Chains A and B, each alone.
Chain A
Amino acid sequence: MDVFDIYLLEAVLNGLLLGGLLALLSLGLNLIFGVIDVVWICYAELIMCGMYAVYYLYVQYHWPLLLAMPSAIAIVALLGVILHQFVIRPVLGAEPINQLLVTGGVLFFLQAAATLAFGIDFKNLGVALPSISVGEMSFSASRLLAFAVALAGMVGMYLFLKRSYLGTAIRAISQDRAIMPLMGVNPTRIFLITSALGGALAGLAACLLVLQYDIHPAIGLSFGPITFLICVLGGLGNMLGGFIAAFLFAQFISVGGYFFHLEWGYVFAFVFFIAVMFWRPRGILDGN
């Protein structure tokens, strides 16, 4: 096979676009883990809720899309706060594994509740963005948009954490959970704000995903696992590591799917993940 195949280049570039989206997905989860030290196993289910929110506001209640999307982001941010207040807070002192499992229970609950409330049929926003052709290659505009917005969201998050007072407090808490309360940082408040931010990032991801995929109650399972694996590969809580890992994973999926079948792309990505874990158990950027 010709290595400089134009379709291979297309697969690589599409992988790059997918990488941006995956990086955004992992960013919220990494933020939560870095600050609160809890993995939201139900993170992808929050995204699912956001997708339904966009769908119902736009299709059912005929809100303009540019109003429906920010509202969906706000709704998921609120869900994040509720999740922290009523589910995470009671187990903050419990064993870490209970904290992992309790959000797994939320995963079950949200998925089943969505089935109960919205039914199992696939729902589609009915907004089709055109595809853009460059030479013989074609890219969907929704992917390009998702890539651009995901990058913008990440830059925004970076600036917020680096430049603002609140962001500095969040970073401080994530570096030393024990000492910061003594320095006058209120961890409860910071945790709630972080949860809202994590929720908002999930909501943003939902707005981008809803343009590309049909919505159904089990959609979280199709990109939930991959998001966790990206975070672990990059080192849980390490946002830069997650960013790099997202692009690596996306290439495996896209190029592996190009040479073989789509599932094989995922199989390669997961096997790669397991192999890397044995080499760098604390993530690819870990020096030791």
Chain B
Amino acid sequence: MNAFKYAALAVLAAVPLFGIGNYPLHLLIQVLLWGYIYTSWSLMGRLGLVSFGHGAFMGIGAYGVVMLWNHYGISPWLGAVAAMVATALTAAVIGYPCFRFKIVGHYFALVTLALSEVARLLIVALRDQTGGSLGATPNSDLHAGATASVAALQFTDKRVWFYIVFAVWLGGLWIWRVMDRSMGRIALQAISEEEEAAASIGIHVTRAKLQVTVVSALMTCVGGILYAQYQLYINPDTVSGIAISLQMVFGVIAGGMFVRLGPTVGAAFTLLLAEGLRYWFGNKYPALDSTLYGMMLVLFIIFMPKGILGAATEGWRRASGATAPARV
């Protein structure tokens, strides 16, 4: 099994070397980038912490770095550090009282929803600095003919981006595993299912939740930074607010949030669905993909709440005769 996994990774890593076109490469980068962001979200989601606030963390990353670069000429590498500090503070300031006062379920979702709306509105309100709803573009640091500027984190070669995003995505999956091992699956599940009981057997619930939240927020912030530097264009609605937060949640649901590759499968599924429909129908029906997507989400939640990969692994386990645990 392990050999198979590493072989698959090696093939994936070699894909750009075969000179596939720019468009397939672009799709691959998008899948990995969003797969990484959805993975970050799932770290909390699978503990029952459904956050609609991740749009705020992504927005802090994207806008923080681009604003520091455009207005003060601060390199995105330093900007990233600043944005991550700001993200960790925001996550802690929102998370600590939520967990301390046991704001859970609907209430947690809606408090975090307010957070991502605050981020979006602030970006719009500070339009003199951020460009408001029109969005912002990082100033180019690529002088005459240059294709790369490491200091400005700008690369025209998509292959460079592929390897950056690939590495970050792998890092996200690694964090997922480290978290599983360090806290122990049982402790994590105990918190999500029976908070009082978890506390009574000595799990520090508030601290455990806060750790997960800060890690998840930081990872999402990095995702926002990469998004901004790769797309070279951001606007308040694509990196913050309720819409992007919902997009994360639903991508995860489509793929399945209780298996490690589920969020990535969700990202691939939603992206290929959108691109496929655009390919078949052209731009004649601009919202057809989202319409079908919305309908599928509803069907997924009703009939396949564990997502594509979640349902697939469960089915595979059952077929192979192994005794599947009652809850995965």
A residues apposed to B, CB below 8 Å:
39, 87, 90-91, 94-98, 100-102, 104-113, 115-116, 120, 217, 221, 224-225, 228-229, 232, 236, 261, 263-264, 266-267, 270-271, 273-274, 277-278, 281-282
Contacts and interface: CB of A to CB of B under 8 A. Distances in A.
A278 B121 contact: no
Contacts of B305: 94-95, 98
Contact of B290 (A102, A111, A271, A274): A111
Contact of B294 (A108, A270, A274): A108
A94 B301 CA distance: 10
Interface in B116-160: 117-118, 121-122, 124-125
Given A87-B302, A101-B250, 12 more contacts: A97-B109, A102-B302, A104-B249, A104-B297, A105-B298, A108-B293, A110-B294, A221-B241, A267-B122, A277-B98, A277-B111, A281-B102
A225 B302 contact: no
A221 B105 contact: no
Contacts of B117: 225, 266, 270
A267 B291 contact: no
- Most chain B CB inside 10 Å of its own CB: which residue of A101, A113, A263: A101
Nearest to A283: B107
A263 B125 contact: yes
Nearest to B126: A263
B218 interface: no
A31 to B, nearest CB: 16
A97 B302 contact: no
Given A96-B105, A109-B295, A274-B94, A101 B114 contact: no
A94 B48 CA distance: 13
Interface size of B as a range: 35 or more
29 contacts: A39-B110, A97-B105, A97-B109, A101-B50, A101-B250, A101-B301, A102-B298, A104-B249, A104-B250, A105-B294, A105-B300, A109-B294, A109-B295, A112-B294, A115-B291, A221-B243, A225-B117, A229-B110, A232-B106, A236-B107, A263-B124, A267-B118, A274-B94, A274-B114, A274-B118, A277-B97, A277-B111, A277-B114, A278-B98
Interface stretch (B66-74, B280-288, B317-325): B280-288
A263 B242 contact: no
B114 A225 contact: yes
A116 B50 contact: no
A111 B288 CA distance: 11
- Complex A-B, nearest 3 residue pairs according to Cβ-Cβ distance, in ascending order: A109-B294, A112-B290, A108-B294
Given A39-B106, A108-B294, A273 B114 contact: yes
A229 B114 contact: yes
Interface string B156-194: 000000000000000000000000000000000000000
A280 to B, nearest CB: 9
A102 to B, nearest CB: 4
A271 B287 contact: no
A267 B121 contact: yes
A105 B301 contact: yes
Contacts of B287: 112-113, 115-116, 217
Contacts of B293: 108, 112
B86 interface: no
B193 to A, nearest CB: 10
